[in-house]
């Protein structure tokens, strides 16, 4: 079984780019990833591509071949859809293909174009990741769904709006030096608390923005990296995926995310590491409460303690376990089809030392990516480690 190296990464800026098409965005990310890897397009054997709402945002399905053409790749291309975990699932498939010897070189990534829909249109489009029959038709949107999860968490384990606000403050602070981030400005707890309420207890600054953007990674086998003398020191050594019931009312727990528990357990076992080995993490913080649930599912905090991790300084840039040094979905942005791949990009740069926040984790050799779909009905976790080139 071959090891899997991250040979190159490419990211567009995340934010509002309503004038750009999805293919334009992915062409930038994909071409940058290939240039970063130093890999010829003729060596690429397939494109694995994540996208969620292309039919709604651009009236465009069958996006795989379209995006391969945009990047100049003459190879089979497949689209993966798992709501906000779409490109995380694509990365997982890429890891499996390289490991089993099916492929030596893959381009894996994703794109989402959202801002052209406007706030109401994007909110409606995102809602189709919930149960249409029992949730969407009753008026459920994801701010409301995650607010229910936050209320359940507070009732079960405690916590305050100020605790959640500290997460938003931390992630905005981390995004200050990230030129790809949508929001590069500092906020404070008072600003978060005083902002308009979206769905109690979640306010405007507890919520990630609507974003356009693309991300791509070039995955190669150990053998290809060695034969072509590639500078590919970061490997994906663990991968895991979990699932849960779609509708919140069908679940046993609202204050836990079993799908992420399963994905993390599988990824850790696959890599042969434990939560104690993790030096830095990128987690799916579509809302501040989502970061809390992620930390606990990943074993980075005990159950009931994740809510105070940011306020206590444990997950800040200078803390014992820096989380979302990119700014996370909260400040970096969340073009949903691109998010899972973008987390791999950010971690690879952090671990190889060319990220704006690499100084905060200069001695790090193990990173963890957590990507969730919907109200965590889908979850994908990857372990990245620094290896010898």
* Residue 1 confidence (pLDDT) above 90: no
From residue 67, give the alpha-carbon distance in Å to each of 25, 34, 50, 54, 175: 10, 14, 10, 12, 28
Q: Do the beta carbons of residue 316 and residue 170 sit within 8 Å?
A: yes
The residues annotated as belonging to the active site are 84, 334
For residue 6, the model assigns a pLDDT of: 98
The 10 Å Cβ neighbour count of residue 165 is 25
Determine the average pLDDT of the residues in 128-139.
Answer: 94
Q: Residue 338 in contact with residue 84, Cβ under 8 Å?
A: no
Average pLDDT of the residues in 1-19: 95
Identify which of 101, 104, 108 has the alpha carbon closest to the alpha carbon of residue 43: 104
Q: Mutual orientation of helices 288-297 and 142-157 as an angle, nearest 10°?
A: 60
Nearest partner of 5 among 109, 96, 95, judged by Cα: 95
Q: Which helix (H) or strand (E) holds 189?
A: helix 189-194
- Strand partners of residue 241: 380
Mean pLDDT of 174-187: 97
Write out the two tokens for 261: 């528990």
Q: DSSP secondary structure string, 263-324?
A: HHHHHHHHHT--GGG--EEE---SBHHHHHHHHHHTTSS-TTTGGGTTTTTSSSTTSSS-B-
Residue 190 CB coordination number (10 Å): 11
Reply yes or no on whether the pLDDT at 228 is more than 80. yes
Q: Where are the domains of the chain?
A: 4-118+209-386
Judge whether residue 110 has pLDDT over 80: yes
Q: Which two tokens stand for residue 11?
A: 């990211």
Percent of the chain at pLDDT > 90 equals: 98
Closest CA to 330 of 162, 199, 192: 192
Q: What is the pTM of this model?
A: 0.97
CATH architecture of 4-118+209-386: 3-Layer(aba) Sandwich (3.40)
- Residue 63 CA to residue 324 CA, distance in Å, equals 29
Q: With a cut of 70, say whether residue 257 has pLDDT above it.
A: yes
Residue 362: how many other CB atoms lie within 10 Å = 8
pLDDT of 120 higher than 80: yes
pLDDT at 190: 97
Q: At what angle do helices 161-175 and 288-297 cross, to 10 degrees?
A: 90
- For residue range 229-238, list pLDDT tens digits in order: 999 999 999 9
Q: Are 278 and 300 in contact (CB under 8 A)?
A: yes
pLDDT at position 389 over 70: no
For 354-387, the pLDDT digits (tens) are: 999 999 999 999 999 999 999 999 999 999 999 9
| CB of 21 closer than 8 Å to CB of 66 | no
Beta sheet of 77-80, edge-to-edge order: 77-80, 46-50, 105-112, 213-221, 4-11, 234-243, 378-386, 366-373, 280-282
Average pLDDT, the chain: 97
Q: Which residues contact 326 (CB under 8 A, 6 or more apart)?
A: 174, 175, 178, 180, 181, 282, 332, 342, 343, 346, 355, 357
Specify the pairing of strand 366-373 against strand 378-386.
Answer: antiparallel
Q: Is 119 exposed, middle or buried (0-12, 13-18, 19+ CB in 10 A)?
A: exposed
Q: What is the pLDDT of residue 2?
A: 86
Task: Find the mean pLDDT for residues 15-37.
Answer: 97
């Amino acid at each position: 079984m071959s090891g899997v190296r991250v040979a190159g990464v490419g990211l567009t800026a995340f934010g509002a780019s309503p004038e750009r098409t999805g293919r334009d965005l992915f062409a930038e990310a994909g071409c940058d990833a290939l240039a970063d890897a130093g890999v010829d397009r003729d060596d690429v054997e397939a494109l694995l591509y994540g996208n969620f709402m292309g039919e709604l945002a651009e009236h465009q399905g069958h996006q795989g071949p379209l995006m391969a053409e945009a990047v100049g790749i003459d190879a089979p291309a497949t689209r993966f859809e798992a709501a906000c975990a779409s490109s995380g699932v694509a990365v997982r498939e890429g890891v499996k293909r390289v490991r089993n010897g099916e492929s030596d070189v893959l381009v894996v990534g994703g794109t989402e174009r959202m801002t052209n829909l406007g706030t109401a249109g994007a909110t409606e489009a995102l809602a189709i990741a919930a149960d249409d029959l029992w949730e969407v038709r009753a008026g459920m949107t994801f701010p409301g769904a995650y607010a229910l999860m936050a209320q359940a968490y507070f009732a079960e384990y405690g916590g305050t709006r100020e605790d959640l606000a500290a997460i938003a403050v931390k992630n905005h602070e981390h995004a200050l030096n990230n030129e790809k981030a949508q929001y590069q400005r500092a906020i404070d707890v008072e600003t978060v608390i005083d902002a308009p309420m979206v769905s109690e207890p979640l306010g405007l600054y507890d919520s990630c923005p609507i974003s356009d953007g693309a991300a791509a990674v070039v995955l190669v086998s150990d053998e290809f990296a060695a034969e072509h003398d590639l500078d590919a020191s970061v490997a994906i050594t663990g991968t895991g995926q979990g699932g849960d019931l779609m509708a919140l009312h069908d679940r046993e727990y609202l204050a836990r995310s079993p799908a992420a528990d399963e994905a993390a357990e599988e990824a850790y076992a696959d890599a042969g590491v434990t939560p104690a080995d993790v030096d830095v993490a990128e987690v799916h913080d579509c809302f501040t409460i989502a970061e809390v649930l992620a930390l606990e599912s990943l074993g980075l905090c005990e159950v009931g303690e994740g809510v105070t991790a940011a306020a206590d300084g444990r997950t800040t840039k200078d803390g014992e376990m820096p989380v979302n040094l990119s700014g996370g979905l909260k400040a970096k942005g969340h073009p949903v089809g691109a998010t899972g791949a973008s987390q791999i990009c950010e971690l690879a740069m952090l671990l190889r030392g060319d990220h704006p926040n690499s100084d905060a984790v200069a001695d790090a050799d193990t990173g963890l990516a957590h990507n969730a779909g919907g109200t965590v009905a889908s979850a994908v976790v990857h372990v990245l480690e620094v290896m010898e080139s």
